[in-house]
Copies of this chain bind each other. A is one copy, B any other.
Amino acid sequence: MAGNTFGTLFRVTTWGESHGPALGAVIDGCPPGIELTPEIIQEELDRRRPGQGGGASPRKEPDRVEILSGTFRPEGAACDLTTGTPISLVIFNKDAHSKSYDHLKDVFRPGHGDLTYLAKYGIRDHRGGGRASARETAARVAAGAVASQLLRAHGIEVTAYTVALGGVRAEARDMEAVTQNPLFCPDLEAARRMEERISEVRGQGDTLGGLVEIRATCPIGLGEPVFDKLDGELARALMSIGAVKGVEIGAGFRAAEMLGSENNDPLTPAGFVGNNAGGILAGISSGEPLIVRVAVKPIPSISREQQTVNLANEPVTIKVGGRHDISAIPRIVPVCEAMVRLVLADHLLRHLVLVAHRTAVQNHGATKNN
């Protein structure tokens, strides 16, 4: 019960079904005084919009976000500012053809949550996956845009990009390239081959997985031992995205094959040499860039015939068809950014408690001594 809230101090609650009236998010705990307008959020939303990227489906819903609470424009301010009260964001669903899902009403799509939702709840909104739809992540991206505004005010930047798709790997890490191709790939040559792979697989009615890497600048000290370690929180946040089946930090799975003398990042007066740790030591950020990679499974909705069962547990075959992407990449890239931002916004605030305590005690001590 009750798993739709994320965070301790920067708290995000999302709601909404793929084919219900709307979906949205409530952000509780955003500090006051931060610039926030629908346009700022819209910019992030547009990056995950369907109809973009090589293998994207043609569903063209506009996904216009509205801010229903939590901002106010004081006299003389150049822009709406957050007030410290909950920020309610809503995106009304427009382009939703729920009729087109009628044939899926009585059948469990392989690789989807149809079976598990029905088993758990005894009732299921079958239209487009209901709450389990990837469309749910629009609310995360909207909330992530708010987190982004907070983080930016503290000098923290998060960037995600595609490092593999359908077996094609990006060799380069050219951050400028990321915005120059619809796959958010930091290697333009690899991006080209990824597009080819997508076309090839589309012809076969099949789908592709890949790898997304997230890099973030991060001040030293974020993360709370022992259960709320920064790496654990990132893992949970990213694994909560439907298509993600694996998460690794820094050297990640490669570390399992290294010697201690290879894996340790030596320290010098100028800082760390190497970043196998991925910017986290003992669950706390080290000041080095955070490096996280996630494994994205191929989209389970394929246009090929699949074996499954219906509600009566009789064998049937289905072709999901419809308006589906070939890969969760690139639309998952802004979602990964959003989730990392939610983690960092929350842990930034949690860490600020310590900073403020130290300052306040010093000030109080100074006052007492005068």
Number of copies: 4
Assess the A266–B306 pair: CB atoms within 8 A. Answer: yes
| A249 neighbours in B (Cβ, 8 Å) | 239, 245-246
Stretch at the interface among A174-182, A184-192, A274-282: A274-282
15 contacts between A and B (CB under 8 A): A2-B29, A17-B69, A17-B85, A22-B69, A24-B88, A72-B124, A83-B131, A84-B121, A84-B354, A85-B225, A112-B281, A209-B255, A235-B239, A236-B236, A236-B239
Assess the A74–B123 pair: CB atoms within 8 A. Answer: yes
Assess the B3–A83 pair: CB atoms within 8 A. Answer: no
Residue of B nearest to A111 (CB): B264
Stretch at the interface among A46-54, A57-65, A294-302: A294-302
Assess the A295–B253 pair: CB atoms within 8 A. Answer: yes
Q: Does A355 interact with chain B (Cβ within 8 Å)?
A: yes
Further contacts, 12 of them, CB under 8 A, given A15-B28, A122-B358: A9-B350, A21-B69, A72-B125, A90-B90, A206-B261, A234-B239, A236-B239, A258-B298, A260-B298, A261-B306, A269-B315, A355-B360
A357 to B353, CA, bound (A): 9
Assess the A68–B29 pair: CB atoms within 8 A. Answer: no
Which one, B86, B111, B313, contacts A265 given CB within 8 A?
Answer: B111
Given contacts A229-B240, A245-B251, A295-B256, contact A26 B15 (CB under 8 A): yes
Given contacts A90-B90, A227-B4, A298-B260, contact A268 B307 (CB under 8 A): yes
Q: Give, as a whole number of angstroms, the nearest-CB distance from A82 to chain B.
A: 8
Which one, B125, B246, B285, contacts A247 given CB within 8 A?
Answer: B246
Assess the B258–A226 pair: CB atoms within 8 A. Answer: no
Given contacts A90-B90, A125-B83, contact A352 B349 (CB under 8 A): no
| A302 neighbours in B (Cβ, 8 Å) | 260-261, 264
Assess the B3–A227 pair: CB atoms within 8 A. Answer: yes
Given contacts A17-B85, A249-B239, A282-B117, contact A298 B352 (CB under 8 A): no
| A281 neighbours in B (Cβ, 8 Å) | 111-113, 115-116
A341 to B19, CA, bound (A): 30
| A24 neighbours in B (Cβ, 8 Å) | 68, 88
A266 to B361, CA, bound (A): 32
Residue of B nearest to A299 (CB): B260
A112 to B245, CA, bound (A): 28
A368 to B155, CA, bound (A): 9
Q: Mark A222-263, 1 if CB is under 8 A from B, else 0.
A: 011111110111111111101011111111111111111111
Q: Does A148 interact with chain B (Cβ within 8 Å)?
A: no
Q: Mark A134-166, 1 if CB is under 8 A from B, else 0.
A: 001000000000000000011100000000101
Residue of B nearest to A280 (CB): B116
Given contacts A11-B2, A84-B120, A245-B250, contact A354 B32 (CB under 8 A): yes
| A154 neighbours in B (Cβ, 8 Å) | 360-361, 364
